[in-house]
Amino acid sequence: MVNSKKILLLSMLIIFFVIALYGAISDYINDSKNIKNIELVQKKLVELTYIDEVITQLQKERGLSSIYYYNKSTKYAHALVAQKKKTDLSIEVASMHIDTAELNTKRQEAIKIINTTNVPNLKAFIIYTNLIKTLLNQSEILILKTKNSDIKNSLYYYNHLNIMQETAGQLRGLISGILATKTISKQEYNEIIILKRNFKNHYTSVKGNIKLPLLFEQESIKVINSTVDNITNFSAIDNKLIKNIEMEPLKWFNIASCSVDTIRKSAIKELKHINAIVTNSMNNAISIAMRHFIIWTIGSIIIIVVLIISWLLFKRLTKEQKLLKNYKDVIDNNPNSIVSKTDKFGVITYVNDTFCNVSKYTKEELIGQPHNIVRHEDSAKEVFAELWKTIRSGKTWNGIVKNRCKNGDPYWVDAFIAPIYDDTGELVEYIALRHNITEMILQNEETERTQRELIYRMGESVESRSKETGNHIRRVAHYSKLLAGFAGLTHEEAEIIFIASTMHDIGKIAIPDAVLLKPTKLNADEYKIMQTHTDVGYKLLSGSNLPILKMASTIAHEHHEHYNGKGYPLGISGDDIAMPSKIVALVDVFDALTSSRIYKKAWKLEKITQYLQEKAGHQFDPVLVELFLNNINTFMEIKKEYEDKNPIQIEWE
């Protein structure tokens, strides 16, 4: 088995290297061809740069020669000589990159014609033009040799710009000669018409692809168009005299040169753009070749490493699976661990022995049943709704749950529940690990019952000192719990207020008997003393972290505050008064009004209802008053159940 795996691994490596080698060689051949073609284009672009300068100088020399042929004044002679020097210089520089022998021969032939008066000027013009066209053909040849589509397209537009420049240059030269003689031949007329049409065609070809300067918006171009139009408006008759054109030839030449130079600038810009494309293409070609080599090399290394790691992981996984089984056995056999598994629908698929021992069910009775078979009826549905929402979202859940044994006895567990996914990320099951905390819960409940008993006895002792009966605090406790439920407080909060309300008058322990037990109305000084019981009660109960004492201190402090802010001791109002304090304030007054004392009789229900309605929004929270009066019959039932004539009896809910 091991040998077959090694052979398979070796075969995979050999196949991979063969594929990698073939790919690398193929890429190398293709990239080499591409690089050689780009190198050729780079060389030709260098030549085009110098050829472009020679063409520009020849075009100017051709135009000035046309003027000088007809008018050999000193001004024109100087201009032509200066231009010839520029042309000589450009040819000398270009000769280091291209063969200029034939170029010089043809140019000297044209110069000779210019200096000979009996040879038609148009012949010299044609020699210059053919010479320039020969040079322009270099860019067309390069287009055919180029394989890169981006370079080819840019060369195509560059060639159009060169032809546009040459066309404009020919117009400049022809019209310069015409203006020098003030005559136009039929051949010259037809040539101008053709050049105008060709210029327009080439301009149309490039203007949508290259951002040219606004050639026809410039003032100089307007002058050119006007001059050309005036010349071509005459009939094409040989040697027709043109009388209405007064422009001096050299001025025309300089103005027309603006158009030619503008086109040339666009051509130079496009040539720079082509050079940038070529440089970038060369860099890309080289980097691609290197990248291919690096990719295949790194890929080979990665595959080898992956295969080795996979082999090692396989061995490690086998070892870890054995360890996981050992861990599982430890957890399952731990008498303190209650373990179960369910499918994704909550149906039990596994329980350990501890689960059965605690729940009193057998494995056969549990497996295949929904997990709520052990749910206690006292457990809040909201807890289980939150539990399922959490684990179905892929998160773990931890909390205390009250369950029920087969015989009905309750037991509590601290549960940790987690979803389990397979290697594809699909939910497979849920696993729960629990610890039995029943003994701790029962001890806490016993402690809490003891605390409640002590708190109640404290409140009762204060009420008995002030000649109140034990049933007074019992009624206030039941009223408070009931109204808290109507007001939307949670069950836990209602239970706490049930106990905390019994100590609302705990501060009266510090009030002197002369004031506390006075049967008649208190005077102003006595009333101030009586008011101090709220602060005393707060100080006695505050500072504890127990929820019951924290709420009791707040109630003791605020149960004489009024909703409109005219109560004591703080003078707070509205929602600044804690809800438990507002509840106790209302039910305490209600119980006082419904109870007979040595100094007063109990009020009738109609009078109490009217009184509470009048005090709503002033002394009491109007919402609580409305809730109280809407359920007055329920409160009266509590009143009837805990009448003062009944013997004192402590009952808790």
pLDDT tens digit sequence for 597-614 = 766 788 999 999 999 999
pLDDT of residue 539: 92
Does pLDDT of 253 surpass 90?
no
Reported as a pLDDT band with limits 50, 70 and 90, residue 238 is very low
Global pTM reads: 0.42
- What is the set of domains in the chain, with CATH numbers? 15-293 (no CATH), 336-436 (3.30.450.20), 443-641 (1.10.3210.10)
Which of 261-275, 359-373, 463-477, 600-614 comes out lowest in average pLDDT?
463-477
Residue 299 pLDDT > 70: no
* β-strand pairing of 338-343 with 348-351: antiparallel
**What b/e sequence results for 248-277 when a residue is b if at least 16 CB atoms lie within 10 Å of its CB, and e otherwise?**
ebbebbebbbbbbebbbebbbbbbeebbeb
pLDDT tens digits, one per residue of 545-568: 888 889 999 999 999 999 999 999
How many whole angstroms separate alpha carbon 137 and alpha carbon 21?
Answer: 43
9: tokens are 């691994």
Is the pLDDT reported for residue 201 higher than 70?
Answer: yes
| Three-class secondary structure assignment of 559-614 | CCCCCCCCCCCCCCCHHHCCHHHHHHHHHHHHHHHHCCECCECCCCHHHHHHHHHH
The whole-number average pLDDT for the span 238-251 is: 63
Q: Which of 7-16, 111-120, 179-188, 324-333 has the highest mean pLDDT?
A: 179-188
Tell me the CA distances in angstroms from 366 to 346, 356, 372, 400, one per residue in order.
12, 8, 10, 21
